[in-house]
């Protein structure tokens, strides 16, 4: 669990850059950079200002790479709370899941070197990889990179930490996988998987004999002179990073470090991300072969189950979210893209391989969708200015729906549909009106769609089209295509299987009774490190039963008195992160195991002592200690004396974190009525408590 810090020598990087000029530098010398892009610069500055003024973005940084050079770059917004550190092109942002492109490139580099084959089993190279499910032996490197491995999704225990690059998530990953089963046959369909890229990270380390950080430094960062690009295992000066803010509290947040490097733990600038993207746009010769670049841009999503679509936000390549990003297909232009979202950082990289162009947009606050639309507009403006296209895209719509009577077959599609995070109740009237509501929150209203002669349902505003699809796996899916318009920024389109129809799940009366006792109960996280951002976010989970859908815990199928698991098989995003539930009792208290996370039942939490002096001690198991705030303690001010390697947090009755010692300066905290307090540290850590 040690912290590994690797400082790169600026002198060494400069020497390498002088000996091996980057392709971007070479191309710049050849091209002379003749295009000024004045109109594109003006447009980008306006869009950046709009994001920070109207879309809740704290800061945004952008860059356009064209003809071997950074042609346009800029930034907008605020940085540190004191206003001392200005934003500039060297300000560093977390790029989140855009790191997956780096991981894919690293694997392809090993393929180029003849050390790895895409379609050989991973276990051939990484024999320590094992799972409870024997199908894991079929997983190949290709399946890791195109999200079709069948891994459950996100094994991220102790991975998102404040000012802490502990390697726990990396060091225990194979141990955690060994306790899991697959959610689908390897290669059956592509569904977003963080774990696939963490496994790819370990694969690169095993085959190369280097740490993942060392390998990508050697393979890409140093030859391209990316001196402002870091991984989570390196020492990043927090003052060099874009300031973070949360809507849940006032003031600046500490730097959150994503320690799952291959799936999300890289930090960079927009200019350097755009330069890295140049590898896939004809630059960086010798770093990746043309064959490798071409393979990464293939339609990998078509290898398995996938919804019918055109150019879109999601259609996977190797590492790429999309290899046919809209609206570029309307111009006959191939576009690759990858987005990333962490708790507060957001990123988007778009590459136009045939045009030799890339765009990168990074932000603190906001969303990768905002960044994607901005980056698309940046490229479209540049394409127009250099004469490659004649006009910018106009907003699209499916048009106002003209109602038609649905056949009986359509009425049969009514029922309950689920995805990895929610459940829908769908009703269809004989007149052809589809009503879609949240089955987990009854009474919150329903979205309405109108059946049309095309066989699709369309929203009244024409932005969304819905249909039902009976797939080759005998499952029924809710298919959605949606135009997403961001006023002043632009438009994108997303087409996907949103949910799958849930079949009946008969359970015994004994099992039903056991689950009924848990309905609505809250379970609190126990085994995250004291620096974990999940305490600020209050990672709690709740059992949610539905009267109209017996046999299910939300979208999970109940499999026994103490277990449930997702049975859905949805390609794309909405079938991601299967998290089976397993309950057990210990000394009269119920615990919940969810993959590598451990939770405690709310009824097992004791009340904090309401007297003036007390203490809380972390027991030998090292688990967090949770306490309820009784009436006798509510309204009193809590002061805590604690060791440096520990933390505590206070929550109100609704579960909102009102104080976390890793985020806030230690002070006396007024305890909210019916709230909770948690203490976190190593075994034997003692917290001295004073209530006044």
Q: Does domain 408-501 have CATH number 3.40.50.150?
A: no
- What integer is the mean pLDDT of 565-570? 96
Contact 234, 7 (CB under 8 A): yes
- Predicted local distance difference test score (pLDDT) of residue 32: 34
pLDDT of residue 28: 35
Q: Within a 10 A sphere around the Cβ of 91, how many other Cβ atoms?
A: 22
Report DSSP letters for 233-287, one per residue.
Answer: TB---GGGBPPEE-TTSSSEEPPEEE--HHHH-EEE-HHHHHHHHGGGTT-SBTT
Beta bridge partners of 187: none
Tokens describing residue 94: 């977390």
Using pLDDT thresholds of 50, 70 and 90, give the confidence band for residue 442. Answer: confident
pLDDT tens digits, residue range 278-310?
Answer: 999 999 888 999 999 999 999 999 999 999 987
C-alpha 314/C-alpha 323 separation (Å) is 8
| DSSP annotation of 124 | G
**CB burial string 580-607: b at 16+ within 10 A, e below:** bbebeeeeeebbbbebbbbbbbbebbee
Percent of the chain clearing pLDDT 70 (strictly above): 95
Domain 10-385: CATH superfamily, name plus number: DD-peptidase/beta-lactamase superfamily (3.40.710.10)
The pLDDT, as a whole number, for residue 13 is 28
Q: What is the pLDDT of residues 94-108, one digit of tens each?
A: 999 999 999 999 999
pLDDT at position 115: 98
Please state, in angstroms and rounded to a whole number, the distance separating the CA atoms of residues 266 and 212: 11
CATH class of 605-691: mainly beta
Q: What is the pLDDT of residues 580-590, one digit of tens each?
A: 999 999 999 99
Each residue's pLDDT tens digit, 659-668:
999 999 989 9
**Confidence check: pLDDT of 7 > 70:** no
**What integer is the mean pLDDT of 392-419?**
96
Find the mean pLDDT for residues 6-19: 29
Question: pLDDT tier at 31 (50, 70, 90 boundaries)?
Answer: very low
Parse the chain into domains and list their residue ranges.
10-385, 408-501, 509-603, 605-691
- Of the pLDDT bands very low, low, confident and very high (cuts 50, 70, 90), residue 173 is very high
Give residue 21's pLDDT: 33
pLDDT of the residue at 538: 87
Reply yes or no on whether the pLDDT at 459 is more than 70. Answer: yes
* Predicted pLDDT at 248: 84
Q: Which among 297, 335, 261, 291 has a CA at the least distance from the CA of 146? A: 297
Q: Are 275 and 226 in contact (CB under 8 A)?
A: yes
CA 541/CA 520 separation, integer angstroms: 10
Beta-sheet pairing, 606-607 with 625-628: parallel
Judged against a pLDDT cut of 70, whether residue 16 lies above it is answered with: no
Residue with tokens 């997983």: 139
Dihedral angle sign, alpha carbons of residues 293, 26, 361, 464 = negative
Helices (H) then strands (E): counts for the chain: 16, 37
Q: For the chain, what is the radius of gyration of the CA atoms?
A: 26
- Give pLDDT, residue 443: 83
Query: What's the average model confidence in pLDDT over 467-491?
Result: 97
Cα dist. 175→123, 232, 260 in Å?
A: 15, 21, 15
Q: What is the tens place of the pLDDT at every residue in 532-559?
A: 999 999 889 999 999 888 999 999 999 9
Burial class (CB within 10 angstroms; exposed 0-12, middle 13-18, buried 19+) of 384: middle
pLDDT at 35: 85
**CA–CA gap between residue 39 and residue 122 (Å, rounded):** 49
For residues 26, 31, 32, 36, the Cα torsion angle rounded to the nearest 10 degrees is -120
Nearest to 483 by CA among 569, 422, 393: 393
> What burial class does residue 553 get, using C-beta atoms within 10 Å of its C-beta: 0-12 exposed, 13-18 middle, 19+ buried?
buried
Question: C-alpha 422: how far from its chain's center?
Answer: 17
Q: Is 283 exposed, middle or buried (0-12, 13-18, 19+ CB in 10 A)?
A: buried
Q: Tokens 């150019």 — which residue?
A: 311
Task: Report, as an integer, the average pLDDT of 647-660.
Answer: 97
Cis status of the peptide bond prior to 349, with omega within 30 of 0: no
For the stretch 602-639, pLDDT in tens is 999 999 999 999 999 999 999 999 999 999 999 999 99
The residue-averaged pLDDT of 652-657 equals: 96
Closest CA to 165 of 88, 254, 282, 283: 254
The H-assigned helical ranges of 336-367 are none
Looking at residue 4, its pLDDT comes to 28
Chain center to CA of 455? 34
What is d(CA 277, CA 295) in angstroms, rounded to the nearest whole number?
15
The residues, ordered by sequence, that sit 6+ positions from 605 with a Cβ below 8 Å of its Cβ are 524, 626, 627, 628, 676
What tokens does 297 get?
């841009």
Task: Indicate if the pLDDT at residue 27 is higher than 80.
Answer: no
Contact between 545 and 416 (Cβ < 8 Å): no
The residue with greater pLDDT, 197 or 17, is: 197
Express as a percent the part of the chain with pLDDT over 90: 90
Q: How far apart are CA 383 and CA 657, in angstroms?
A: 47
Rounded to an integer, the average pLDDT of 61-68 is 95
Q: Given this model, what pLDDT does residue 261 score?
A: 97
Rounded to a whole number, what is the largest CA-CA distance in the chain? 77
pLDDT score of 30 more than 80: no
Instruction: Report which of residues 385 and 22 the model is more confident about.
Output: 385
pLDDT of residue 19 exceeding 50, the answer is no
Whether 629 and 677 have beta carbons less than 8 Å apart is answered as yes
91 contacts 79 by C-beta, under 8 angstroms: yes
Q: What's the pLDDT at 1?
A: 32
Contact (CB, 8 A) for 287 and 219: yes
- Residue 336 tokens read as 């690759």
d(CA 516, CA 543): 9
Altogether, the residues listed in the chain come to a count of 692
Predicted local distance difference test score (pLDDT) of residue 67: 85
Mean pLDDT of the chain: 93
Q: Yes or no: say if 545 and 515 are a contact pair by the CB < 8 Å rule.
A: yes
Helix (H) or strand (E) holding 560: strand 556-560
């Amino acid at each position: 669990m040690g912290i590994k810090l690797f400082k790169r020598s600026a002198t060494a990087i400069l020497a390498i850059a002088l000996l091996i000029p980057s392709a971007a530098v070479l191309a710049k010398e050849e091209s002379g950079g003749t295009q000024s892009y004045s109109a594109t610069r003006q447009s980008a500055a306006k869009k950046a200002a709009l994001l920070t003024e109207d879309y809740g973005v704290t800061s945004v940084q952008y860059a356009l790479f064209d003809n071997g050079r950074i042609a346009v770059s800029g930034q907008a917004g605020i940085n540190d709370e004191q206003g001392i550190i200005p934003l500039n092109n060297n300000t560093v942002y977390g790029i989140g899941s855009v790191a997956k492109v780096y991981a894919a490139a690293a694997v392809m580099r090993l393929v180029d070197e003849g050390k790895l084959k895409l379609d050989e089993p991973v276990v051939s190279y990484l024999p320590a990889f094992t799972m409870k499910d024997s199908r894991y032996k079929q997983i190949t490197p290709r399946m890791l990179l195109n999200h079709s491995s069948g891994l459950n999704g996100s094994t991220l225990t102790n991975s998102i930490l404040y000012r802490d690059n502990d390697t726990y998530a990396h060091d225990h990953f194979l141990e955690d996988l060994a306790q899991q089963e697959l959610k689908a046959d390897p290669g059956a369909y592509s569904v977003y998987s963080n774990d696939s890229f963490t496994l790819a990270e370990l694969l690169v380390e095993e085959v190369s004999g280097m740490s993942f950080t060392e390998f990508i430094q050697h393979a890409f960062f140093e030859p391209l002179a990316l001196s402002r690009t870091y991984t989570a295992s390196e020492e990043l000066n927090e003052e060099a990073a874009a300031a973070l803010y949360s809507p849940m509290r006032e003031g600046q947040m500490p730097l959150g470090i994503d320690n799952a490097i291959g799936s999300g733990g890289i930090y960079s600038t927009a200019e350097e991300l755009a330069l890295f993207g140049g590898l896939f746009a004809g630059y960086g010769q010798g770093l990746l072969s043309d064959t490798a670049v071409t393979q990464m841009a293939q339609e990998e999503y078509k290898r398995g189950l996938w919804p019918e679509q055109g150019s879109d936000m999601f259609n996977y390549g190797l590492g790429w979210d999309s290899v046919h990003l809209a609206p570029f297909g309307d111009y006959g232009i191939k576009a690759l893209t990858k987005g990333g979202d962490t708790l507060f950082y957001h990123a988007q990289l778009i590459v136009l391989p045939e045009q030799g162009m890339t765009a990168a947009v990074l932000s603190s606050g906001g969303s990768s969708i905002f960044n994607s639309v901005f980056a698309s507009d940046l490229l479209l403006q540049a394409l127009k200015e250099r004469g490659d296209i004649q006009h910018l895209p106009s907003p699209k719509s499916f048009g106002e729906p003209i109602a038609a009577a649905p056949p009986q077959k359509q009425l049969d599609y009514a029922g309950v549909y689920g995805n990895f995070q929610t459940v829908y109740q769908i009703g269809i009237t004989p007149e052809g009106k589809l009503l879609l509501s949240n089955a987990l929150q009854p009474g919150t209203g329903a979205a309405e769609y109108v059946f049309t002669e095309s066989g699709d349902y369309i929203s009244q505003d024409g932005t969304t089209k819905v249909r039902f699809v009976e797939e080759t796996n005998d499952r029924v899916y809710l298919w959605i295509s949606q135009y997403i318009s961001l006023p002043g920024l632009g438009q994108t389109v997303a087409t996907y299987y949103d949910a799958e129809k849930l079949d009946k799940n008969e359970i015994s009366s004994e099992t039903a009774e056991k689950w009924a006792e848990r309905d609505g109960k809250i379970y609190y996280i126990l085994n995250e490190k004291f620096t974990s951002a999940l305490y600020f976010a209050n990672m709690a989970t709740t059992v949610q039963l539905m009267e109209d859908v017996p046999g299910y815990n939300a979208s999970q199928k109940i499999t026994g008195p103490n277990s449930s698991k997702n049975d859905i098989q949805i390609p794309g995003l909405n079938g991601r992160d299967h998290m089976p539930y397993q309950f057990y009792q210990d000394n009269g208290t119920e615990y919940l195991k969810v993959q590598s996370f451990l939770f405690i039942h709310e009824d097992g939490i004791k009340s904090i002592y309401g007297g003036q002096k007390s203490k809380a001690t972390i027991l030998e198991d090292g688990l967090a200690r949770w306490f309820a705030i009784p009436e006798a303690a509510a309204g009193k001010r809590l002061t805590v004396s604690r060791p440096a390697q520990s933390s505590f947090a206070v929550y109100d009755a609704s579960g909102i974190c009102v104080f976390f010692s890793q985020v806030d300066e230690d002070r006396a905290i007024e305890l909210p009525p019916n709230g909770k307090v948690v203490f976190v540290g190593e075994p034997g850590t003692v917290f001295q408590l004073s209530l006044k």
